[in-house]
Amino acid sequence: MSAHHPPLAELYPHRHLLGIEGLQPNEIVALLDQAEAAVEISRQVEKKKAVLRGRTQINLFFEASTRTQSSFEIAGKRLGADVMNMSVASSSVKKGETLVDTAATLNAMHPDIIVVRHHAAGAVHLLAQKVGCSVVNAGDGAHEHPTQALLDALTIRRHKGGIAGLTVAICGDILHSRVARSNIILLNALGARVRVVAPSTLLPNGIAQMGVEVFQDMRKGLAGADIVMMLRLQRERMQGAFIPSVREYFRYYGLDRDKLAAAAADALVMHPGPMNRGVEIDPEIADGPQSLIREQVEMGVAVRMAVLEALAAHLPNK
Amino acid sequence: MANPQSPILLTNARVIDPASGLDAPGSVLIENGRITAAGPAAQNQGAPEGTEVIDVAGAVVAPGLVDMGVTVGEPGAEHRETLASASQAAAAGGVTTIVTSPDTDPVIDDPALVDFVLRRARDTACVNVHPFAALTKGLSGEEMSEIGLLQEAGAVAFSNGHRSVTHAGIMRRLMTYARDFGALVVHHTEDPALAGAGVVNESLSASWKGLPASPREAEIIMVERDLRLAALTRGRYHAQSVSCSESTKAIARAKADGLDVTCGITVNHLTLNENDIGPYRTFFKMSPPLRSEDERQAMIAALADGTIDVIVSGHDPQDVETKRHPFAEAADGAIGLETLLAAGLRLVHSGEIGLATLLAAMTCNPARRLGLEAGRLAAGAPADVVVFDPDRPWVLDKTRLKSRSKNTPFEDARFSGEVLHTIVAGKIVTP
């Protein structure tokens, strides 16, 4: 298929992937198309490509993450890279080194791609300014998580044939969610109608101007929706601070059969994981026929392969 | 189970319904627990077979009072007041609906406890009882309570009892979250850090008495903060008991700005001032403290111009053990259900307030704010009615009080205006 298309370097003309913001719709589509090919590779017995052979990929995770980190690790290895995982516990950050010092140290090791997860919004941008290699944002604070939005879009596209015209309801802790921000930008760019559903305490200021319709009542927010995207509620938000209790949250904002019935009959349910069963989602729904949650994980590897391959096209060859 | 009662016709009455502006000679007909006709239109229209006709001889017939400032001791301090005894005190004072504070033991912060209060009230009380639920768990001011579930259980609004939520960030989230549920936040406005150990209004007389005093700013700052947060969150807000002119000025501005805010005052702060404390009389110790005469006058003006929406009794039963202490160590609070109307009528007799304004602040205004059906005499409304003679003199004899606690600031007071009958859901509950 690539034979009929311009090279990936032209379709995705960026050195980094720092966010969905700033990407053109055709660039997003190019990554999704590339990811389709990666899905095929991942389903073969022989899963290796040589695109990143000889390249060094560092997964720099300042925040613990099993699924995103392993997904990037597998993606890099399938493309032939040498992948090193560096987590905060074993890093010198604990010894007081600043983020910029860490960047300089890593830079001296000549990595080709650094994948960064950080608890502070903007940290990945700062790091990208200080290193010479390509940088992928694997989540920075409550700002962006671009590969999650891409994998969500890929999953939706494979089931619904496209994104444009779909009604997507993003439900739960929008305020603290980087997944929500990346998805709002991406889904709007590809022509979906985006809704958010949450108690007002879990909505950021100015949400109505962020390209979404806002609902506090979940049944109204889900009415006729094609996609119901649930967000994880962080433990520390549960008790009394932003919502009164788990049981009240589940009553009004947990996705159960009753609330899901308000959505379109063929609505699909998504969750970026890890799930709190019985908090934001009823196990019956999470494991039910409308759930795409496990498929999202598979698409995660494919999307990350596509992103790494797109960045590889911009790596210097000498 | 529906209890078929014979219809009641109150004739020869001065019928006052503040909600509709009615104040005219007439009758009120009550059937099956509802008002079927009220005012001149109901006069000489006859009545169904078996109707009990009561000639009230020119007395006022008005909606039963709605008191949204009542503390009871049930559960946890039944020796001070039960729902039953509070309801009897209410009935004696012409109050047909009481709204109870959540600061009991345990605090009403769980749907099962709302249910408990409602069931106890159904089984033991002779007036309508609606609970406030706690705004924060345990009234700690830290964790928000289950506003949605508590509202479904029957809480009419959310209050932090006699404690203020001092953390502005938490208050913001409470007002924001409550707004999603259309829930009203009712707040006691006194900054505990600024009030400090103060037990009376900060003034010259407090200084001469040597009592630790609380400045008016302890209230004003909290009211102003809350109004800013109401503007930020667009939440529904009610200041439970204000006492300072700067507070009511701020509320008037907020109302003019279109915010969904209201405020109340206790009848004590309308009719008493700091000088009434006299020689350290602890029955006059309350929160907010009684203020200066200037402030009292300003409160009457704010009631007259509609800035103050609601008058409450501030009923807070305290037993001898909590009041028989040196002033600074005694508990706050005064009972007031039985004297709410009579004390309020003092303002009418002195010409400071019209009777309709007074009654509106005790009937339709609180009912409307809380979304209750009560507080009006319209056909179809619940037959909660008070019949009172506004001029009949009486002297308060504290041994005859129905309340289990006797901490009234009106001991031996002479009043003009006495309740003749209180009717709840079409049933005469007093005398």
Q: What whole-number percentage of chain A has pLDDT above 70? A: 94
Instruction: Over range B388-401, report the average pLDDT.
Output: 96
B173 touches chain A (CB under 8 A): yes
B176 touches chain A (CB under 8 A): yes
Instruction: Over range A194-216, report the average pLDDT.
Output: 97
To the nearest whole Å, the CA of A219 is away from the closest chain B CA by 14
B136 touches chain A (CB under 8 A): yes
B3 has pLDDT over 50: no
B7 has pLDDT over 70: yes
Question: Binning pLDDT at 50, 70 and 90, where does residue A93 land?
Answer: low
Question: Binning pLDDT at 50, 70 and 90, where does residue B255 land?
Answer: very high
To the nearest whole Å, the CA of B378 is away from the closest chain A CA by 34
B46 has pLDDT over 50: yes
A185 has pLDDT over 80: yes
User: What is residue B420's DSSP assignment?
Assistant: E
B42 has pLDDT over 90: no
B137 touches chain A (CB under 8 A): yes
Range with the lowest mean pLDDT among A1-5, B164-168, B371-375? A1-5
Q: Test B173 with A244 for CB contact under 8 angstroms.
A: no
pLDDT digits (tens, 9 = 90+) for B94-110: 999 999 999 999 999 99
Q: Which residues of A touch B148 (CB under 8 A)?
A: 244, 248, 251-252
Instruction: Over range A110-117, report the average pLDDT.
Output: 96
To the nearest whole Å, the CA of B132 is away from the closest chain A CA by 17
Q: Test A244 with B177 for CB contact under 8 angstroms.
A: yes
| Contact criterion met (CB below 8 Å) for A261 and A225 | no
Name the residue among B142, B147, B180 with its Cβ closest to that of A216.
B180
CB atoms within 10 A of CB B279: 6
| Separation of alpha carbons A304 and A151, rounded Å | 8
Instruction: Over range A38-59, report the average pLDDT.
Output: 92
- Outline where B210-353 has alpha helix (H): 217-233, 245-256, 267-271, 293-304, 320-323, 340-349
pLDDT of amino acid A2: 45
pLDDT of amino acid A6: 79
Instruction: Over range A36-49, report the average pLDDT.
Output: 91
| Separation of alpha carbons B31 and B36, rounded Å | 6
Q: Test B173 with A199 for CB contact under 8 angstroms.
A: no
Joined tokens for residue A143 = 């700002």
Name the residue among B144, B148, B233 with its Cβ closest to that of A240.
B144
Nearest chain A residue to B135 by CA distance is: A244
Question: Binning pLDDT at 50, 70 and 90, where does residue A5 land?
Answer: low
Of B87, B12, B68, nearest in space to B364 by CA: B68
Q: Which residues of B touch A248 (CB under 8 A)?
A: 146-149
DSSP SS3 for A213: strand
Name the residue among A199, A239, A252 with its Cβ closest to that of B143.
A239
Instruction: Over range B182-196, report the average pLDDT.
Output: 97
pLDDT digits (tens, 9 = 90+) for A247-278: 999 999 999 999 999 999 999 999 998 999 99
Instruction: Over range B5-19, report the average pLDDT.
Output: 95
A284 touches chain B (CB under 8 A): no
DSSP SS3 for A189: helix
Name the residue among B142, B149, B177 with its Cβ closest to that of A200.
B177
Joined tokens for residue A124 = 């990945």
B21 has pLDDT over 60: yes
| Separation of alpha carbons B422 and A316, rounded Å | 91
Q: Test B147 with A252 for CB contact under 8 angstroms.
A: no
Question: Binning pLDDT at 50, 70 and 90, where does residue B326 land?
Answer: very high
Question: Binning pLDDT at 50, 70 and 90, where does residue A1 land?
Answer: very low
* Packing angle of the helix pair A146-160, A25-42 (nearest 10 deg): 80
pLDDT of amino acid A101: 86
| Separation of alpha carbons A211 and B30, rounded Å | 56
Instruction: Over range A289-294, report the average pLDDT.
Output: 96
A200 has pLDDT over 50: yes
Q: Test B176 with A248 for CB contact under 8 angstroms.
A: no
| Mutation for B interface: A174, A197, A200, A243, most B CBs within 10 A | A200
Q: Test A199 with B149 for CB contact under 8 angstroms.
A: no
B276 has pLDDT over 70: yes
A243 touches chain B (CB under 8 A): yes
To the nearest whole Å, the CA of B239 is away from the closest chain A CA by 22
Interface of A with B in 167-226 (CB under 8 A): 199-201, 216
Instruction: Over range A59-79, report the average pLDDT.
Output: 94
What is this model's ipTM? 0.87
A89 has pLDDT over 90: no
Of B188, B195, B235, B236, nearest in space to B212 by CA: B195
B60 has pLDDT over 80: yes
To the nearest whole Å, the CA of A206 is away from the closest chain B CA by 12
Instruction: Over range B378-395, report the average pLDDT.
Output: 97
B149 touches chain A (CB under 8 A): yes
Report CA-CA distances (Å) from A200 to A205, A206, B330: 9, 11, 42
Name the residue among A201, A216, A244 with its Cβ closest to that of B145.
A244
Instruction: Over range B266-290, report the average pLDDT.
Output: 95
In this structure, the strands spanning B213-214 and B236-239 are unpaired
A247 touches chain B (CB under 8 A): yes
Nearest chain B residue to A198 by CA distance is: B180
User: What is residue B329's DSSP assignment?
Assistant: G
| Separation of alpha carbons B262 and B204, rounded Å | 31
pLDDT of amino acid A293: 96
Q: Test B137 with A243 for CB contact under 8 angstroms.
A: no
Question: Binning pLDDT at 50, 70 and 90, where does residue A96 land?
Answer: low
Joined tokens for residue A154 = 């890929």
Q: Which residues of A touch B147 (CB under 8 A)?
A: 244, 248
Nearest chain A residue to B146 by CA distance is: A244
A125 has pLDDT over 50: yes
pLDDT digits (tens, 9 = 90+) for B64-77: 999 999 999 999 99
CB atoms within 10 A of CB A226: 20
pLDDT of amino acid A150: 98
pLDDT of amino acid A95: 62
Nearest chain B residue to A251 by CA distance is: B149
**CB–CB contacts below 8 A, A to B:** 44
Nearest chain B residue to A246 by CA distance is: B146
Give the largest CA-CA distance in chain A.
Answer: 60
| Mutation for B interface: A196, A245, A246, A247, most B CBs within 10 A | A245
Question: Binning pLDDT at 50, 70 and 90, where does residue B1 land?
Answer: very low
pLDDT digits (tens, 9 = 90+) for B116-169: 999 999 999 999 999 999 999 999 999 999 999 999 999 999 999 999 999 999
Q: Which residues of A touch B109 (CB under 8 A)?
A: none
Question: Binning pLDDT at 50, 70 and 90, where does residue B2 land?
Answer: very low
Instruction: Over range B38-44, report the average pLDDT.
Output: 87
Q: In sequence order, what are the beta bridge partners of B237?
A: B185, B261
pLDDT digits (tens, 9 = 90+) for B354-364: 999 999 999 99
To the nearest whole Å, the CA of B147 is away from the closest chain A CA by 7
